[in-house]
């Protein structure tokens, strides 16, 4: 992440069932998100991704958190390049 404090495993922690057990997840600079991170267990079998179903595939969903300025990268150019 931008501040080197957040990775995918921060919100999808193995010891917490690959979720984060929080009401709302925390991102960079301890920013509070709008919802919590769901478990990633069996997520490849879900018809739609994200709580609101806005991603049609797991591959499409994976683009969201990395490019989100609260979750991982704060708009310093290309998020994937920074990752």
Say whether 71 is catalytic: yes
Catalytic residue among 59, 60, 71, 82: 71
Among residues 52, 18, 66, 65, the alpha carbon closest in space to that of 38 is found at 18
Tokens of 37: 């991170």
What is the pLDDT averaged over residues 50-71? 87
pLDDT level of residue 12 (50, 70, 90 thresholds): very high
Give the model confidence (pLDDT) of 40-54 as tens digits: 999 889 888 988 899
What number is the average pLDDT over the span 52-79?
84
Check residue 22 and give its pLDDT.
Answer: 93
Q: Cα 45 to the chain's mean position, in Å? A: 18
Which letter, b or e, does each residue of 45-75 get, where b requires 16 or more Cβ atoms within 10 Å of its Cβ?
Answer: eeeebeeeeebeeeeebeeebbebebbbbbe
């Amino acid at each position: 992440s931008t501040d080197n404090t957040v990775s995918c495993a921060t919100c999808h922690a193995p010891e917490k069932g690959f979720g984060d057990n929080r009401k709302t997840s925390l991102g960079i600079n301890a920013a509070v998100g709008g919802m919590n991170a769901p478990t990633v267990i069996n997520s490849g079998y879900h018809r739609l991704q994200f709580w609101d179903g806005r991603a049609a595939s797991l591959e499409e969903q994976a683009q969201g958190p990395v490019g989100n300025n609260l979750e991982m990268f704060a708009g310093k150019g290309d998020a994937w390049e920074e990752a």
